[in-house]
Amino acid sequence: MRHDHLITSKQLSRADIETVLDRAAEIDADPSAVADRHAETVLGLLFFEPSTRTKMSFETAMKRLGGDVVDMGSVESSSVKKGETLADTVRVIEGYADALVLRHPKQGSATMASEYVDVPLVNAGDGAGHHPSQTLLDLYTIRENAGLEDLTIGIMGDLKYGRTVHSLAYALTNFDARQHFISPESLQLPREVVYDLHQQGGTTGIREHESPEEVLPSLDVLYVTRIQRERFPDENEYQKVAGEYQIDAETLEAASDDLTVMHPLPRVDEIAPEIDATDHAAYFEQAHNGVPVRMALLDLLLSEQGGDGDE
């Protein structure tokens, strides 16, 4: 893998993805083998939006590699509150850290920030844009549960603003997966994403639907995202679609016994708690996979920067 920064999953080839996933599997099997691999390495966490899983899994990943983190804290307690630009913030923290992880509400923020720093920068979510490290742990989970070959996946919910969806869809074109996008019309994939998927040659494997029923029986994986109530112009419009996108035991009666249900979390009411204890549920495993996958990602990025990697 030869990248200075990870901004979007579009920059990842199939070989890149497999390199990260294979490394994550090695680390998952024997975490102690890398316990001191990046001792004295410092990761800068720049989260301009609230985050639980992503932030804590990056922090855990760095510490399990023997390194440490510096965290700018909340926006309210940082110099951002004083009006400091993102460009200045990343240039300052670059002096404290060997790599940066950035989450920011503006689309394109990671692209811009990467133009100001020399240390590796990982995009941990830029508005409605991209979230490539989430995609890597999603792919890891899919590979573990359903495999990435000959995959039929349904991606359901808020496809318009869902950055995890965009990143996953791009990455899956590397594997010729059949992708079924299920959403209300108002939350369909942005035309930019559709344009890219077509450019990447994924046209034959991409279908859009408004209801999950018609494709559910054919799916190996159902990737559910939260429909964001606040996006709807009025409550009635939300109520028209909210029930259709809730997965419960009755819904899954039509699905294959081998169906894997995923969700980037947090969930609200998209997946009924009764699914949690079934063999379908992979979303907590998915969240846990964030640590070994991000350990692998950081290891590969830091090693290429002349760190203490020995490969």
Q: Is 75 in the site for other proteins (CB under 8 A)?
A: no
Polymer length of the chain: 311
Q: Is 31 in the site for other proteins (CB under 8 A)?
A: no
Give the position of tokens 């997965």: 247
Q: Is 105 in the site for other proteins (CB under 8 A)?
A: yes
Residue span 189-208 as binding mask against other proteins, x where in contact by CB under 8 A, dash where not: --xx--xx------------
Choose one: 58-66, 102-110, 207-215, 256-264; the region binding other proteins (CB under 8 A).
Answer: 102-110
Phi, psi of 22 (to 5 degrees): -65, -40
Of 53, 63, 106, 267, which residue is the catalytic one? 53
Q: Is 104 in the site for other proteins (CB under 8 A)?
A: yes
Q: Do 182 and 212 touch, CB atoms closer than 8 A?
A: yes
Nearer to other proteins, 115 or 279 (CB): 115
Burial class of residue 261, CB neighbours in 10 A (0-12, 13-18, 19+): buried
Q: Which of 11, 13, 74, 107 binds other proteins (CB under 8 A)?
A: 107
- Our answer to whether residue 267 is catalytic in this structure is no
Q: Do 178 and 203 touch, CB atoms closer than 8 A?
A: no
- Our answer to whether residue 106 is catalytic in this structure is no
CA distance 128 to 125: 8
Q: How far apart, in Å, do the first and last CA atoms of the chain sit?
A: 12
Using CB under 8 A as the binding criterion, the count of chain residues that bind other proteins stands at 21
Q: Which of 108, 228, 265, 305 binds other proteins (CB under 8 A)?
A: 108
Phi, psi of 178 (to 5 degrees): -85, 115
Taking each helix axis as running N to C, give the angle between helix 163-172 and helix 132-145, from 0 to 180 degrees, rounded to the nearest 10. Answer: 60
Task: Give the shortest CB-106-to-other proteins separation in angstroms.
Answer: 4
- Our answer to whether residue 54 is catalytic in this structure is yes
Q: Is 123 in the site for other proteins (CB under 8 A)?
A: no
Binding positions for other proteins, rule: CB under 8 A = 83, 85-87, 104-109, 111-112, 115, 126-129, 191-192, 195-196
